[in-house]
Chain A
Amino acid sequence: MGLDAIVLILVATVAASVPLILAALGELVVEKSGVLNLGVEGMMAVGAIVAFAVAVETQQLSLAALAGALAGALMSLIFAFITLTLMANQVATGLALTLFGTGLSAFLGLKYTSVALDGAKAMTIPILSDIPVLGKLLFSYNGFVYFAVLVFLAISWFLYRSRAGLVLRAIGESPSSAHALGASVIKVRYLAVLFGGAMAGLAGAYLSTAYTPLWAEGMIAGRGWIALALVVFATWRPARVLIGALLFGGVTIAQFHVQGIGIEIPAQFLSMLPYLATILVLVVISRDAGLIRLNAPASLGQPFHKQGH
């Protein structure tokens, strides 16, 4: 295998991991605030079809991405209202959101099933993109990829360097203590859930307008669930989410190549591989119970009742 082939595989790996990076980092912020939103898959699906529809109708890809993010945020607003204002069970509501999102996206997508779309193109950056090997490896992507990197940096900074991030983590650990200190638990959780929804919607938009520019029912293919698993197995740390997502992308691409070479393994087993490998590796690196206790939001999934109001 030549250098070019390796570069191609690596580039494809990054492309395959972007939706997971976006959705999982969004969910990480949500869970750090103590809310468990299992609706990622559904929000991604709705983000995907809305972005695809906007792209087809307007031919404006950045507008489409924005619409996808907005659609995801709107979906998460339903979730936030039910779980944070009405204080319903988060697990049940999240599952319902996934079912709702999957169905809604199929319904919205009826007339877009066999429509072709010119997907997002790689942005060429003068000089940088022309550097041999490195230029291809680092500077040959579409806008989503660079945005995902930005999101990663921003979230890492926000959670561990800013006061607002500190408040968010404190709320995730003990909402009643944070409330006693004067933090607005419900407001912060609303914002976190909306951010998570927007990220999931954007991840969906990437899938339908950049990764494979088409709409097909069920095209999210469980990536929302993998994003959820990534957050847990990455022990709620952004860098590990990134590693897990790249790993998933890498195995996804590798199994295509294995199939291409013609090794006799059932295709179904190969399609299973990325999911299996990601979970296995993350389980192994997250065995340390101390790290989990330190990073897991202690109030995850528990509703917060204000006293005496």
Chain B
Amino acid sequence: MNPTARLELRGITKHYPSVVANQAIDLVVQAGEIHAVLGENGAGKSTLMKIIYGVVKPDAGEMLWNGAPLKIQNPAQARQLGIGMVFQHFSLFETLTVTQNIALALEKNTDSQDLSQRIREISERYGLTLEPARLVHSLSVGERQRVEIVRCLLQAPKLLIMDEPTSVLTPQAVRKLFETLRRLSDEGCSILYVSHKLDEIRELCHKATVLRAGQVIGSTDPREKSARELAEMMIGSRLPSFEKRELQNTGDIRLEVKQLSRRADDPFGTPLQAINLQVRSGEIVGIAGVSGNGQQELMTALSGEYLDKSAKQVRGDILLKGKSVLGLAADQRRQQGLRFVPEERLGRGAVPAMSLSLNALLTGYDSGLSPKRFINYHTIHQFAATCIEKFRVKCNSPYSEARSLSGGNVQKFIVGRELMLHPEVLLVAQPTWGVDVGAAVFIRQALLDLRAQGIAILVVSEELDELFEICDRIAVIYQGQLSEAQPVNETNREAIGLLMGGAGFAKQEQAV
């Protein structure tokens, strides 16, 4: 084994005013090693990576690079040393071209012809197809990630940091990414792989360091552990078990979408093309797909946020319990029993600067929370308190501002709020995105309980595992088209993955 590690961290500590993000972190990465950094949301993974990349300065601790002590002042210095980072939320500029985006990360002024040529070479060598002249906003999420990776590779990195790289990719794209990463590792490049997806880590990584609440819990060889063992290291307790659902008879059609077409929300969005969908009472229908394929447009059309009364821009029909609701606004649809958990928590699901109580009132005002249009603080306070207790929302009190909660806790509150308002049809977008493992199990269980009560549920999610766990039928959305929903026991991840990549969607429909 190489005596001097590529990168060594000793006692790295970073405090923020209210939390300790990193406490005395030790980490050793060898040359050519793919090293997983594992932990729940808020465990301090991202902060640690930002410290290594020079975006954030640590309060204490030291870093050794190839055995020599080092202080990284800024990302530019990190890049000069050969540290590259692919961010979870891409740091790309949508209105610039691929070449311009990459040029921005290079130190010197580069001739753009020259650079385009180099981009082509690198992308061919690693199997990352890219067209240098395209504007980034027109690229798919997978392609954007390739831009980020190629941008790092152009600088011949010695250490590549990947922050949750697969959260937005199809299973097939994940496999391609792994090939690229293994190839880099064979060439001697070390990789820090931040993720919470245990199966991927077990497949790809040589070593895993587990973080919990800002501290290193331990290091292990992930290939020798089961996913469950890794998960329990990560959350520090036994994984809550998941009640197996049984197939049940479904009832009447609660939500029906017929030939729904609509324009995109904005020029960078995706128009919907003749979408058909049925959700029956007592079933969960899942919509899989890589983000940006029309999920947002579908959800806003269903919830009533996007409304076109003259029916020029929305064609087709949406039926709620057999009655058309196409011309009805969001609140009118709510009165008919439709409840909605949007993907964006702060801003659409909740008002960040308002208390949880008032946020409960926002969608609950027509369900007894404000009799005679006056606010009854006692009632909404109790409602919020019940929701907080029932859904184990971590917060100080119902008077806490929504923005003071972590993302996962806001989500628990919003899901709880909608569930307590007696939905007949429930739309949920990304139910467990950014929620920790324990809470995710809890939310999924709550959805299954609701299904047992005969509620019709539509779930949009990018997590295939989640969809396969809770859904009765799964459809795939791709470039604004929706595939027919398949019963889960008649399909598999592979088939759904292919659909997510666009295989099997009629091309001629796209031209219309």
Binding site for B on A (CB under 8 A): 163, 166-167, 169-170, 173-174, 176-183, 289-290, 293-295, 298, 307-309
B94 interface contact, C-beta 8 A: yes
* Pair B57/A166 contact, Cβ less than 8 Å: no
Other A-B pairs beyond A180-B91, A182-B79, 15, CB < 8 Å: A163-B103, A166-B96, A166-B100, A170-B104, A173-B93, A173-B94, A173-B95, A174-B93, A180-B55, A180-B85, A182-B105, A293-B268, A294-B135, A307-B50, A307-B56
Are A308 and B55 closer than 8 Å at their CB atoms?
A: yes
B56 to nearest A CB, angstroms?
3
- Size of the chain B interface, CB-CB below 8 angstroms: 29
Nearest residue (CB) in A for B59 is A308
Q: How far is the CA of A44 from the CA of B57 in the complex (A)?
A: 42
Bound Cα distance from A57 to B493, whole angstroms: 82
CB distance from A105 to the nearest CB of B (A): 37
Contact code string B81-100 (vs A, CB < 8 Å = 1, else 0): 00001010001111110001
Chain A residues whose C-beta falls within 8 Å of the C-beta of B96 in the assembled complex: 166, 169-170, 173
Q: How far, in Å, is A302 (CB) from chain B's closest CB?
A: 15
Main secondary structure, interface of A, reads helix
Shortest Cβ distance from residue B100 to the other chain A in the assembled complex, whole angstroms: 6
**Cβ A308 vs Cβ B94 within 8 A:** no
Query: From residue A108, how far is it (CB to closest CB) to chain B in Å?
Result: 42
Do A295 and B95 touch (CB < 8 A)? yes
How many angstroms between the C-alpha atoms of A174 and B76 in the bound complex? Answer: 17
* A173-B95, A178-B104, A183-B104 as given contacts; A308 in contact with B14, CB under 8 Å: yes
CA distance A178 to B92 in the complex (A): 9
B135 vs chain A, min Cβ distance (A): 8
Known contacts: A173-B95, A174-B91, A180-B75. The answer to whether A308 contacts B57 by CB under 8 A is yes
Q: Can you list 30 A-B pairs with a CB-CB distance of less than 8 A? A: A166-B100, A167-B104, A169-B93, A169-B95, A170-B96, A174-B91, A177-B91, A177-B92, A177-B93, A178-B104, A179-B75, A180-B85, A181-B75, A181-B76, A181-B104, A182-B74, A182-B76, A182-B79, A182-B105, A289-B267, A293-B95, A293-B268, A294-B267, A307-B50, A307-B55, A307-B56, A308-B50, A308-B55, A308-B56, A308-B57
Contact of B74 with A294 in the complex, beta carbons under 8 Å: no
In the complex, which residue of chain B has the Cβ closest to the Cβ of A290? Answer: B267
Chain A residues within an 8 Å CB radius of B74:
182
In this complex, what residue of B is CB-closest to A163?
B109
Task: Convert B27-69 into 0s and 1s, putting 1 for each residue whose CB lies closer than 8 angstroms to a CB of A.
Answer: 0000000000000000000010010010111000000000000
Q: How far is the CB of B97 from chain A (nearest CB, A)?
A: 10
A294 to B94, CA, bound (A): 8
Enumerate the 9 nearest inter-chain pairs by beta-carbon distance, A residue then B residue, closest first. Answer: A182-B76, A308-B56, A290-B267, A177-B91, A182-B75, A163-B109, A173-B93, A170-B93, A180-B91
**Distance (whole angstroms) from the CB of A174 to the closest CB of chain B:** 6
Contacts of B109 in A (CB 8 A): 163
B243 within 8 A of A: no
